[in-house]
Amino acid sequence: MRTLRSTFLLLVFFAVSAPPAVAAGTIFGSMEGPAVLIGLLVTSLVGMATKTGAHTIEDLLDVEHQSVADFGRNTVEEVIQTDLENHRQLTEEMVSEIAEVTQDRQRIYGASGNTEMEEVDEFGEGTTQEDHESGEVAFPLRKFLHNVGWSDDYEVNATPADMAQATLNAEKADVTKIRSRMQAALFLSSNYVYVDHLIDRVTLDVKRLVNADGDPIPPGPNGQTFDGSTHTHYNAESGLSNGGLNDSVDDLMHHGHTNDVKMYINQGDETTVKGLDDFKEYVDARLTLRDDQNQPRQQQSPNRPLNNRAIGIFRSAEVWIKPWVPPGYIFVTDIGADEAPLCFRQHQSPGLRGLRLAAQIRDYPLNTDKMEHYFGVGVWNRTNGVVHYHDNGSYEDPSL
């Protein structure tokens, strides 16, 4: 059963996650989606609790004046294990907006070539064509730990609420780490080599978005060709301009990414973006619109946090403020594309996926619980993302 606490983590994560509509079948729904989602899940939780009578992590948080031993150690452990499984499912949903969850570590990228149809006569056979336009992308697998330690005296007096809070702290740390690794995959511009030391020590070439590294780039939908040694999706200018941001949107669309384009900005850049000529602002839902003037029908929900909300349209891209975008940077992507910009790699063994309790060390008078999570993030579709940096004429990686 998914808990209200886990629902909260889901809503604030990408606060990774992006924003689309219920009609698109995505997790957040429309701008009112989070409220609807909470309502549906609360109803579901109430119904499930009535049917099963099972304890949840919220139940444990309420038990502050009874020891774990008195409440039932097995019950506490079962609730925590159930909550960790719910957390695993929710984190997969959180990242799915801009990342595909996978166990792959390498893929062939850019398989389409730039061949052409030839006109022939009735006896013509045409010439054979061979066009190698593919490269490889890879996704690292890392291991992250969260340790909690305590003394024997603490354990004797610990309550179920104490154990539940320790679990919530680990889950919050897990979400923060996932978000930071996704930030690094998007905003850092240099390829790197990673040894897959947790599996078999195979060397992986981990790529970023298109970055003029010489790798082949698939042709555009209208036959456009791109020079892999000069074409980049890490754009830069000194001061944000309407033309410069249009160029970045064009960079994305020239590769055929036109289904559901989103533009993610930092809250500190809101005023600057709103001042651009091609920006059209959403109206606050609390305002009454006049019927004698042209005004946008799309309205901002007053219930969304200030750092996680849609504010308007730039050309055809919906503009969202997101807490994971660094100041001075803008990220543009097509969340409706068949291939997401990122892959979120999990361990090939199902039992090692998600945040889990890996070990309990009892060494009187000190004890330790070790929680671990195997995952890694790498770029999958190198053309489905453009980073626009507007604090300098040359691109600079952010400090993450």
Q: Is residue 297 part of a domain?
A: yes
In a domain, 281, yes or no: yes
Residue 298, domain extent: 102-112+131-392
Q: How many CA atoms lie within 13 A of 14 on its CB side?
A: 24
Any domain includes 354 = yes
Q: What residue type is assigned to position 323 of the chain?
A: P
- At 337 the pLDDT is 94
Host H or E run for residue 319: strand 317-321
Mean pLDDT is lowest, of 7-21, 22-36, 212-226, 288-302, for 22-36
Q: pLDDT tens digits for 186-205?
A: 999 999 999 999 999 999 99
Predicted structure pTM score: 0.77
User: Tens digit of pLDDT for each residue in 329-339?
Assistant: 999 999 999 99
Q: Is residue 79 part of a domain?
A: no
| Confidence at residue 38, expressed as pLDDT on a 0 to 100 scale | 35
Highest average pLDDT, of 112-116, 150-154, 387-391, comes from 387-391
Dig out the tokens for 331 from the structure: 């990220």
- Write down the pLDDT at residue 50: 39
Write out pLDDT tens, residues 39-92.
333 333 334 333 445 667 787 888 888 888 788 778 888 888 888 888 888 888
Instruction: Judge whether 23 lies within some domain.
Output: no
What is the average pLDDT across 228-232?
96
Query: Does residue 135 belong to any structural domain of this protein?
Result: yes
Q: Which residue has the higher pLDDT, 127 or 230?
A: 230
Single out the residue of 297, 322, 321, 296 nearest to residue 311, CA to CA: 321
Q: Is 394 exposed, middle or buried (0-12, 13-18, 19+ CB in 10 A)?
A: exposed
* 377 in a structural domain: yes
**How far, in Å, CA of 38 to CA of 141, rounded?**
33
Residue range 26-41, pLDDT digits in tens: 333 333 443 433 333 3
Say how many domains are in the chain. 1
Report which of 284, 280, 305, 307 is spatially closest to residue 294, judged by C-alpha positions: 280
